[in-house]
Structures are given as C-alpha cells and as structure tokens.
Structure 1
Amino acid sequence: MFSRSTPCSFAPLSVCLTLLTAHAFAQDTRHVEEPKIPASCVQLSAKLQAVKDKVAEADEHKLDTERIQKALDSCKPGMAVELKQMGGNNAFLTGPLDLRSGVTLLIDEGVTLYGSRDAAVYDMVAKPGEEPMTPGLCGTIPKVEPAVFPAPPRAATARGGCRPLLSAVNVKDAAVMGDGVIDGRGYAKLLGKDYSWWEMARKAEPKNEKYYSTRLVVASHADGLILYRITLHNSPNFHVSVGGTNGFTAWGVHLLTPTDRTLDARNTDGIDPGTSTNVTVAHSWIDNGDDNIAVKSGTTHMSVLDNHFYTGHGMSIGSETVGQAYLLVDGLTEDHTSSGIRIKSNVTRGGSVHDLTYRNICMRGVANPIAISPYYTNQTTEGFVDPKYTGDKIPDYKGIVLKDVWSLTPGDVLIAGLNADHMTGIKLDNVIVRDIQPTQVHTAFDMMSFGAGGTNIPFTAEGLVKSKPDAMQPDACKGGFPPMQ
C-alpha cells in the first residue's frame, strides 16, 4: 500500500534515491531532506461542505479569504495555519492569499481549498505610487492586446491581469503542506460569464490571442519555499511558477488536471521554475494539460529525482532557453506523455543551455521520446525542419548526457542544432527506443558521442557506435508505470 509519508515505496526502476544519499550526484547544491510538517499555531475549521468535489451554488460568495489571510499574517514563523474538517464540513473557498515568511499553510487530508470562480477577486490592483491597472482584465480576452508568435520585440501590453490563488513574494521559508487538496476549478463557469477558465484559454488559441487567467501558486524571491505532499487539481493556468528564488523544494506533490478526463485543460503546466537556483522536485506525480515540468530561463542547479509523469508534454526545457544549466533528471517514468526528454526553443527566444544529465528514465506510449529542437513553433510537439524564423537569440545546446534511457514503444527522435556554428553536443549511453524505424530519426547539426552502452537509434552517419536493436537490460523499467497516485 502506498504511503505518502514514505516516498521510497514508489521509486521507479527498482531504484530508491533519497535526496540525502543522492546528494553527491544531484545538481541542487543544497543538502535536501524530506520536509517535516510543523506544529500548528491555529486550526481553522471548514464551514462549507463540498459534495462530489463541487461547492454549492448558494455558497459561492461565502469566501474564507479574510480569516485564512488573518491567520497567516499572525502566525509565528516556524508554525502552520491548519485547515481542518469539522463535522461534515470539508471545504474552504478563497480568493488570492499571500504566504508569509516561515509560515506553513497546512491542509489536512479530506479537506479541499477551492479557488473562487469570481474573476473579479483576482483582478490586480496597483500599489500606491504605481500606474493604474487596467480594470477587469482577469478572466477576459482583451481585444486591444493581440499576441503574436514569434512575439515582436515590444508588443503592446495592457497593465494588469490576475493575481494567483497563492502568492509567495519576497518571503523566506514559506510552505504549503498536507495531504489535502488545492482545487483551482479551471473547469467551472466564471461568475457572470458563459465560459470557464479553460474554455477561455481554448477560445484564444486559434488567433493566439492574449488572455488573462489565474494560477495556483506563484513565487518570486521566495528562498526556501517548500511544497510537501500537497495535491493540486484543476489549475486555471500554470500550477506552480517559481522565479528569482534560491532554494525551492517540491516533494511528494500530486498534481492532476483535469480531474474530469472528458475535459480539456489548455496551458496547465505542472511545475515551472525560472531565474532560480537550487531547485529539487522529488517523489512527485504529475498528470496535466501541458509540460509536466518546464525549466524556464535562468534556472541552474536543479534536481528532478524519482518522479512519475502521465498526460502532459514531458520533461521540458524552454521555450525560452537562456542560461539553463546543471540539471539532473534521475529516476523518471513517463507514461503516455507527448514528449519525453524535450528541449524547445527558436531564434526569437534562445540562448545557451548546458550540462544536462538524464538517466534511469523509462517511457511508454510517448510519441517523441527525445525532442531536442531549435525549431519551436508554439505547438505541442516540435516539427522536424527549421521554420526559418529570424532573430539573434540563438539556441545553443551543449553537454547533454543521456544514460540508461529506454522507450518501450517506438516514437520519433529529433536531435538538432541550428547550424554549423551552433551544434548540439550530446552523448548517448544505453539509449534504447524499441522498434524505432529509420524514418523516425531526425537529426541536423549534431556533435554526437556514445558511451559503452551505445544506442539502437539508427543514425545514418558512418562510424557511430550502436548497440544491437533489441539490446535492453533485463530489469529495465522493472516496477515502472504505476497508476497515477
């Protein structure tokens, strides 16, 4: 039986790496251990009852925002504000909340913190001395602000938008913990509108229009931020965005969007760190409507250890690729993601990416097991030819190592540099894509080398060291692909 307090019980590939023992190999330079839940400074009892994960229409204006925020503001650092059940009541309903330094928001098992579906409560408001915000942007597709891809150097931008459900800004050692759920209700019709957050996002897609949506967790300059054992459901947009932060840990996070598999949840990335260093995502389960993890510009020294990915776009870097370096992905299963190992950019948003190690990775049902591309065109998967965009932000990928990487089903492999001056440097060692055909291999401007394990990928260049087509360790992927937890 799976225990959320013992993450080693679900380690893939018959390997259990705790961060303590794996530290010598990890790219996060911190000494990271499994977080501990602190004692509570206050317990807040639920006043609402959700039935079949739905809040009653009559309760939609009964927000708990004020009492939760007051508790966070007054809690002593090192302690937690605990949300708990009371009788049959199991739900809290809130607008935006601000996390505080040293304070944990603790959500008990059986409790769900729901985001309000009133877009107005998320509308950004100018601080004193700032230029006024454009009112009413949140939850809209403003016609005055079309988006263009690739974006022009200085696209017109309306000032304003949406606050996230949980903000961690200019704080240290804030945390969200517990075995409960945070549900952004991206599926639900916005109050006073005839569409949901997700329907708005999909409506904006054909013309690539700008739209304003809230996110579940946004952190900026939030050193020491921790997400531990929490479940994240149905974010309207990205689930977790972290920027400008030294030290971010997500351990045992369970992320499922959409929970109703008949629905469509566009642009719902899982965990996206950017301009940050010393990042660890470990022992987590991610099933969502976009990149499972997307490493954004300026992120260095990141470890992704013993995780499981399901529906989504895979383990991604980009599409802005400037300064991502020193990444270790070790122990990962990808079950029917659209891509497996994915690096995506183009000449309008690229730059140097280097020192990336991927090992002990098992995939099945992945259409593009390897997609290392300077050809990004804002699509779910990369094309295999240069779209001939113009720009001077050149993607340049170096020092990539793939070791003990297996796809149990065939799929396309793309490994490309932009040109002879920007070759992609990559080493493959025991990299196997079962039953791959020559027509599924796409390369350009590569500097390839091979370890002792070689690869069965049928590259056409002469002199490449390759293993036998059926070569795969007998225990490869043993114990992998458990169902989503």
Structure 2
Amino acid sequence: MTNLFRDWILLSIVGVMTLCPAARAQDRRVVVEPVAPRAVCDRPVPSGNNDTARLQDAIDHCPAGAAVYLGRGEFSSGPLEMKSGVTLWIGRGARLFAIPEPTAYDKGWGHCGRIAGKGDGCRPLISFSKTRGGGIYGEGIIDGQGGTAMAGSAETWWQLARRAQAEGGHQNAPRLIQIDHAQDITFHGITLRNAPNFHVAMNRVEGATFWDVTIDTPADARNTDGIDPGASQDVTISHSMIRTGDDNVAVKAGNNGSTRYISIIHNYFGWGHGMSIGSEVNSGVSDILVRDLTLDGTTSGLRIKSDVSRGGLVERVTYENVRLRGNRWPIMFDTKYDPRADGDRIPLYRQIVLRHVRGDNGTLLMRGLDQAHALQITMDDVRFGKSAAWQIENADVTVGNSGVSPPLPGRLPDR
C-alpha cells in the first residue's frame, strides 16, 4: 500500500466519522457498509490444477443466503456462473486466478483470444446473469492474468488488445466480471487485479453496491475499465480505490436502456482515464452524484464524452468535493469525442454542477456540439492553478458566489 493511498484512507475515515452511517446520495436506496453472510455452505481447497468444476459445483449446491468460502491458497478457474443469493467469499490470503486459456471462455465462434471484425467473443470469468442477491466478499484477490501469455501463444491478453489497436479489428478477451439483468448485487473488500478486459461490466442491473473494493491494474493495459454501470440504476461505488488502464469508472447508456441514480462517493482513483460518463449515452444518463473523490494522475479527470454517433441527454450530474492532481485534462466535457463520427444522435449535457473542486494545471475543456445544443454548466468554488487553461465552445456557464479560478475567458478575475 502506497503512503498516498494510506493517507487518503485516513482522511476518508475522518470524513466519514462526521457523517451519518448511511451513504445517502443519488442512489435511491439507503446504503450502509455491507456485512458478509454468516452461513458458509462449502469450503473448497485448491487442487493445484484447474478448480473450475469444483467451484461451480459448490456454487450450484449452495443455498441462498450462504457463501462459498475460499480460504488461504491459490485457486485456478475458468468461467463461473453465480446463483441467486449466493456469495463468493474469498478470504485473506486466498487468490482466484483466471486460467489463461481462450478456449475455456469461447462462446462457440472460435473468436476468443483472437482479433476479429467484432468483439464479445469470450465469456467472463465470473457471471451474474438474471440473479438476485449475493455477490463477492472478502479480503482476497481475483486475478485475471491479463499479462500472462495465453495457452498455446506467446502473446498476452493485453498484447492482443494493443495489436488490435494497431492493426484494426476487435480484440476478443474475457471480462473479469459481468453483471447482467441482475438485482441487489454486493461487492465488499475484494481486490480485482489484471483483468484481460473490463473488470466489472454491468447491464440492466437494479441495485448494486461496491464498498471497499480495490481495482489495481497497470496503466498501459488497454480496455481494462474499472467499474462500468450500463443501463442500470441505483448503484453505489464507495470507499474504493481504482487504478487501471482505461476509465476508472464509466457510466454508460447504450441501446439497452438509460442509466440513472448513481452514487460515486468517498473514492480514490489513481492512474487511468478518469471519472467518465459515456461515450455511449444515447439512451440517457441522469441523476449522478460524484462526491469526495480524489483523481491522482488520471489522464482525464471529470469527463463526459460522446458524439453524434452515440449521443443523448446527460442531465442532473453533480460533482462536489473533488481533488484533481496531475491530470492532462482535469475537466473534459466533450460532445465531439470522435470528431469523425457520423450520425444524428445529438449529445446534450445540461444541469451539470461542479462545486468545491480543486486542481492544479492542465486543459479545462467544455465543448458543446453547437449553440443550439450548448452545454449547461454551473460552477461554484472551482479553483485550478494559474497555468490551467480553459477551452470553452458552445457552453452556457453560470458561476456561483464563490467563483472560479482561473477566470473564464472574457470574465474578470474574482475579487
């Protein structure tokens, strides 16, 4: 644990002590720190080989409300499918490694571990599909082995992703965890590491809590988003540390439905691409609260990104008590994320509020599509270093009584 992260934890503890125990925010639920199940249905031990069948059998035969407990040792597994109400509890000193075997994850098209015209050719390591309740707890580690050579190849999952970027096409690599058409899922205490692709991807989820979760993956591991709520509602991400090779958190709303009522509170983001909304927002994103967040060395800080190929309405987004350090673009609200994009899905960002935001230097970008679809931004007590530079285009910005520094173009400095 770095000294910086240790200091952040201490500051967060002090801050939380001054608040009520429930994390009340845009998530409509009353969210408190989760408690692990009392009942343990099975305690598998590592075999030293492939543990997939044994772990899946333990999950399948575990009653709702109980946990499959992995104690000390190293387990290896391919895809696992969770069951409603069942918790996977990975104890301190336990590690669950994803086997680097593309055929184990392949969906039947022969694409997993290859570059193809489309992605999504791999099953995730852990899947919550049409489940209710349960989750993943414990102080252990789930390691996706994204930097380990795939079976039968000298290439790692991450090298495959880089090659796809250079050559064109889509890499087919497994996500670490996929939550799909599920309800009331909880993660607590767990460390997620080295995902071949996204760490946690969500689709049509109603009610999810991530508390004291650590995501730690190298900064150059392509497409390794931390947590991506998509077409979901009532989600809280709290007291967590995320360092990864892409978006630390990305709130999305593609063709599957809108995303709303999301609380991202009391978190620390290290390297990565920042606190993002988008780029797919065509079904609408609303009612997002980002509070008490430190972004330390992320390339972007607070980012809303879309374009005319996947744009939509983003509204009622509040950022408050945010600390930004060492970011190239501390603020990036951009409706022209891909300037070559073609389409008629207009990005429109309105009722965006920044309050008590502190940063150092970098480019502060706010770019609406045109004046007819101008960004609507309110800022109050927003302060950056003297060399920070505003780039504002097609944006209607309201400044509160506590001001903005450096001053916006064409406005006098605060007195």
TM-score range, shorter chain: over 0.9
Residue 191 (str. 1) matches residue 151 (str. 2): yes
Residue 400 (str. 1) matches residue 364 (str. 2): no
Q: 1:401 to 1:14 in 2, by over 3 A?
A: farther
2:334 corresponds to? 373
1:339 to 300, 303, 317: 300
Give 3-state SS (helix, strand or coil) of 2:192's partner.
strand
- Could you tell me whether the CA contact under 8 Å between 1:11 and 1:283 is conserved in 2? no
Q: 1:33 to 1:94 in 2, by over 3 A?
A: same
**Higher relative contact order at CA 8 Å, sep ≥6: structure 1 or structure 2?**
1
Give me the whole-angstrom Cα distance separating, in 2, the residues matched to 1:105 and 1:415: 43
Letter in 2 for 1:137: H
**TM-score, with length taken from structure 2:** 0.93
Q: How does 1:284-363 map to 2 (within 5 A)?
A: 284-297=240-253, 298-322=258-282, 323-363=284-324
Residue 447 (str. 1) matches residue 396 (str. 2): yes
1:305 Cα offset (Å): 0.7
Give 3-state SS (helix, strand or coil) of 1:214's partner.
coil
1:97 to 57, 77, 80: 80
- Could you tell me whether the CA contact under 8 Å between 1:280 and 1:303 is conserved in 2? yes
Give 3-state SS (helix, strand or coil) of 1:15's partner.
helix
1:390 Cα offset (Å): 2.9
Q: How does 1:40-189 map to 2 (within 5 A)?
A: 40-48=40-48, 62-85=49-72, 90-125=73-108, 134=109, 136-142=110-116, 145=117, 161-189=121-149
Residue 467 (str. 1) matches residue 390 (str. 2): no
2:30 corresponds to? 31
1:15 Cα offset (Å): 2.4
Unaligned 5+ segments in structure 1 are 49-61, 126-133, 146-156, 378-386, 469-485
- How far does the alpha carbon of each residue in 1:87-118 deviate from its partner, in whole angstroms, 9 at most, with x for none? xxx10000000011000000011110000011
Residue 436 (str. 1) matches residue 387 (str. 2): yes
1:14 Cα offset (Å): 5.5
1:383 corresponds to? none
Give 3-state SS (helix, strand or coil) of 1:44's partner.
coil
Letter in 1 for 2:79: P
1:269 to 209, 222, 225: 225
Letter in 1 for 2:77: T
1:419 to 329, 349, 370: 370
**TM-score, with length taken from structure 1:** 0.80
Give me the whole-angstrom Cα distance separating, in 2, the residues matched to 1:304 and 1:330: 6
1:222 to 182, 185, 204: 182
Q: 1:339 to 1:376 in 2, by over 3 A?
A: same
Q: Which runs of 4+ in 1 moved over 2 A?
A: 7-15, 17-22, 387-390
Give me the whole-angstrom Cα distance separating, in 1, the residues matched to 2:21 and 2:55: 34
1:227 Cα offset (Å): 0.9
For these two proteins, the number of residue pairs brought into alignment is 404
1:47 Cα offset (Å): 3.0
Give 3-state SS (helix, strand or coil) of 2:59's partner.
helix
Give 3-state SS (helix, strand or coil) of 2:183's partner.
coil
Measured on the aligned residues, the alpha-carbon RMSD in Å equals 2.0
Letter in 2 for 1:392: D
Letter in 2 for 1:275: A
Letter in 2 for 1:434: G
Give me the whole-angstrom Cα distance separating, in 2, the residues matched to 1:20 and 1:223: 23
- Could you tell me whether the CA contact under 8 Å between 2:247 and 2:275 is conserved in 1? yes
- Could you tell me whether the CA contact under 8 Å between 2:22 and 2:32 is conserved in 1? no
1:253 Cα offset (Å): 0.3
1:281 corresponds to? 237
1:457 to 376, 398, 406: 406
- How far does the alpha carbon of each residue in 1:346-403 deviate from its partner, in whole angstroms, 9 at most, with x for none? 11110100000000000111111100001113xxxxxxxxx25431011100000000
Give me the whole-angstrom Cα distance separating, in 2, the residues matched to 1:162 and 1:236: 11
Letter in 1 for 2:310: R
- Report which of the two has the higher share of strand: 2
1:11 Cα offset (Å): 4.4
Give me the whole-angstrom Cα distance separating, in 2, the residues matched to 1:181 and 1:141: 29
1:13 Cα offset (Å): 9.9
- How far does the alpha carbon of each residue in 1:404-453 deviate from its partner, in whole angstroms, 9 at most, with x for none? 0000x21100011111111100000000111235xx21111111111111
1:16 Cα offset (Å): 1.8
- Could you tell me whether the CA contact under 8 Å between 1:184 and 1:236 is conserved in 2? yes
Letter in 1 for 2:16: C
1:20 Cα offset (Å): 4.1
Q: 1:452 to 1:208 in 2, by over 3 A?
A: farther
Q: 1:388 to 1:267 in 2, by over 3 A?
A: closer
1:234 corresponds to? 194
Radius of gyration: which is bigger? 1
- Aligned sequence identity (%): 40
Give 3-state SS (helix, strand or coil) of 1:46's partner.
coil
- Could you tell me whether the CA contact under 8 Å between 2:350 and 2:377 is conserved in 1? yes
- Could you tell me whether the CA contact under 8 Å between 1:12 and 1:333 is conserved in 2? no
- How far does the alpha carbon of each residue in 1:201-226 deviate from its partner, in whole angstroms, 9 at most, with x for none? 00010243112110110011110011
- Could you tell me whether the CA contact under 8 Å between 1:119 and 1:190 is conserved in 2? yes
Q: How does 1:193-208 map to 2 (within 5 A)?
A: 193-208=153-168
